[in-house]
Amino acid sequence: MIGLTVFTRYQGLNQELGKIVELMETGSNDVMVVRSETRELLVPWVFGEFVLDVDLEGGRVDVNWDPEF
* 2-19 tens-digit pLDDT: 999 999 999 999 999 999
pLDDT of residue 31: 97
With 90 as the cut, is the pLDDT of residue 52 above it? Answer: yes
pLDDT value of position 55: 98
How far is 62 from 32, CA to CA, in rounded Å? 12
Chain segment 12-45, per-residue pLDDT in tens: 999 999 999 999 999 889 999 999 999 999 999 9
CA 66 centroid distance within chain: 11
pTM of the model: 0.94
Please give the pLDDT value at position 27: 86
Closest by CA position to 65, among listed 20, 1, 27: 20
